[in-house]
């Protein structure tokens, strides 16, 4: 009952009576082979068990049809959403995506990059680790293949394409909203190892100054080695609440995960963010983490356009693939955030 296994195209050609080069052309593009041959090959393939060798097929082609993606964490729904959107866009464009996670480790990130190089992927899309990233790795990839950074970008890196969110816009929008509806926000930040976190912090400060308000930033110190974002938010806010500080303030968190920790701290201290319409404690986040609608209270935040970012990254890669030799200028594409007003602020 099991179909006979065939290992090489040579055997296949003997088995179904079509020449090997014709088979080769068929597998690459069936339309390049005559109708009658297509039929014969189709029915032949139904009768046997053959899978073209992945390595042999890619070795001699100029294009491998693969793109490599690196994300820094796997335990963060925001990055997995980004990865998902990239995978969808790439799949739709006919690519095979090889995804790797750097697990917060520059060495693993570098290894993943080397893997991409040795596999001759057609292009790479990577989200940097943060301050610990080895910029040399990005430069190396950028020099060798179409390359796009997404999500965040190292300050010191120049000439590399980038797709992400306009944090100046998104953060300003949130600051404006919070000021309009209540007291000016304090900014609950993070240790400055994350580029986006710094960008948002700076955007907050700039916007506050523009509005003639005094920016207040808390939580930049490390609360615990390797602490999750949530525990950082929880630790910082618990600390303040316990001292009777910020009890009726507006807290803009650097991201939703930190905000979830802040919400927990509030609940622990019997506070209900957003309960009073225009006063009392309010907490807001950034990113629109998938769980935001289900927190207590649901978290007001600003959504990043994840799908647009993924699509744009893949689009840009294809653009560079087609242009190949032309030294196109660096392109930086920033998407606008969108307010998601729920009840926490």
Partner DNA sequence: CCAAGCCTTTTACACGCGTCAAGTCTAGGC
Partner DNA sequence: GCCTAGACTTGACGCGTGTAAAAGGCTTGG
Tell me which of 74, 209, 245, 275 binds its own copies, using CB under 8 A.
Answer: 74
Of the candidate spans 31-39, 130-138, 193-201, 318-326, the one that interacts with DNA by CB under 7 A turns out to be 31-39
Tell me which of 21, 279, 293, 328 binds DNA, using CB under 7 A.
Answer: 21
**In sequence order, which residues have a C-beta less than 8 Å from that of residue 32 and are 6 or more positions away?**
25, 26
Question: What is the spatial distance between Cα 274 and Cα 258, in angstroms, rounded to a whole number?
Answer: 17
Name the residue nearer to its own copies (CB basis): 97 or 163: 97
Tell me which of 34, 75, 158, 296 binds DNA, using CB under 7 A.
Answer: 34
Tell how strand 301-303 and strand 338-340 pair up.
antiparallel
Of the candidate spans 7-15, 64-72, 250-258, 294-302, the one that interacts with DNA by CB under 7 A turns out to be 7-15
What sign for the dihedral angle of Cα 274, 217, 163, 328? positive
Q: What letter does residue 221 receive in the DSSP assignment?
A: S
Q: What letter does residue 287 receive in the DSSP assignment?
A: B
Tell me which of 4, 5, 19, 107 binds DNA, using CB under 7 A.
Answer: 19
**Tally of CB atoms within 10 A around 218:** 17
Q: Check if the beta carbon of residue 296 is closer than 8 Å to that of residue 200.
A: no
Q: Check if the beta carbon of residue 82 is closer than 8 Å to that of residue 128.
A: no
List the single partner that 297 binds among DNA, its own copies, none, CB under 5 to 8 Å by kind. its own copies
> Binders of its own copies: how many residues, by CB under 8 A?
48
Q: b/e per residue, 75-101, with b = 16+ CB within 10 A? A: ebebbebbbebbbebbeeeebebbbbb
Tell me which of 8, 34, 63, 296 binds its own copies, using CB under 8 A.
Answer: 296
Does 104 help bind its own copies (rule: CB under 8 A)?
A: no
Does 92 help bind its own copies (rule: CB under 8 A)?
A: no
Binding mask of the shown chain, residues 175 to 214, with x at each position contacting its own copies by CB under 8 A = ----------------------------------------
Name the residue nearer to its own copies (CB basis): 100 or 133: 100
Name the residue nearer to DNA (CB basis): 7 or 136: 7
**In sequence order, which residues have a C-beta less than 8 Å from that of residue 104 and are 6 or more positions away?**
72, 73, 129, 132
List the single partner that 42 binds among its own copies, DNA, none, CB under 5 to 8 Å by kind. none
Identify the helix (H) or strand (E) that includes residue 298.
none
Of the candidate spans 74-82, 146-154, 277-285, 334-342, the one that interacts with its own copies by CB under 8 A turns out to be 74-82
């Amino acid at each position: 009952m099991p179909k006979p296994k065939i290992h090489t195209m040579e055997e296949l050609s003997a088995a179904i009576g079509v020449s090997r080069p014709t088979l080769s052309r068929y597998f690459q593009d069936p339309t390049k082979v005559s109708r009658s041959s297509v039929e014969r090959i189709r029915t032949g393939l139904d009768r046997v068990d053959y899978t073209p060798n992945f390595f042999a097929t890619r070795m001699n082609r100029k294009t491998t049809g693969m793109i490599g993606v690196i994300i820094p964490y796997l335990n963060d729904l925001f990055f997995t959403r980004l990865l998902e959107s990239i995978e969808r866009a790439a799949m739709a464009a006919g690519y095979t995506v090889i995804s790797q996670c750097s697990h917060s480790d520059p060495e693993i990130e570098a290894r993943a990059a080397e893997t991409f190089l040795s596999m001759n992927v057609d292009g790479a899309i990577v989200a940097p680790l943060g301050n610990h990233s080895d910029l040399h790795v990005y430069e190396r990839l950028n020099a060798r293949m179409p390359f796009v950074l997404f999500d965040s970008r190292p300050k010191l890196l120049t000439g590399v394409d980038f797709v992400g969110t306009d944090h100046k816009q998104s953060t300003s929008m949130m600051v404006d909203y919070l000021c309009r509806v209540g007291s000016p926000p304090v900014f609950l930040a993070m240790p400055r190892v994350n580029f986006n976190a710094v960008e948002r912090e700076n955007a907050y400060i700039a916007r506050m100054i523009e509005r003639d308000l005094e920016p207040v930033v808390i939580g930049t110190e490390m609360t615990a080695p390797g602490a999750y974002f949530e525990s950082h938010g929880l630790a910082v806010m618990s600390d303040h609440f316990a001292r009777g500080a910020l009890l009726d303030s507006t807290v803009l968190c650097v991201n939703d995960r930190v905000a979830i920790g802040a919400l927990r701290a509030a609940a622990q201290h019997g506070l209900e963010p957003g309960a009073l319409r225009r006063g009392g404690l309010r907490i807001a986040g950034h990113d629109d983490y998938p769980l935001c609608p289900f927190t207590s209270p649901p978290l007001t935040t600003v959504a990043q356009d994840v799908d647009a970012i993924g699509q744009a990254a893949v689009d840009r890669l294809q653009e560079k693939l087609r242009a190949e030799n032309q030294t196109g200028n660096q392109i930086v594409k920033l998407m606008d955030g969108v307010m998601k007003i729920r009840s926490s602020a």
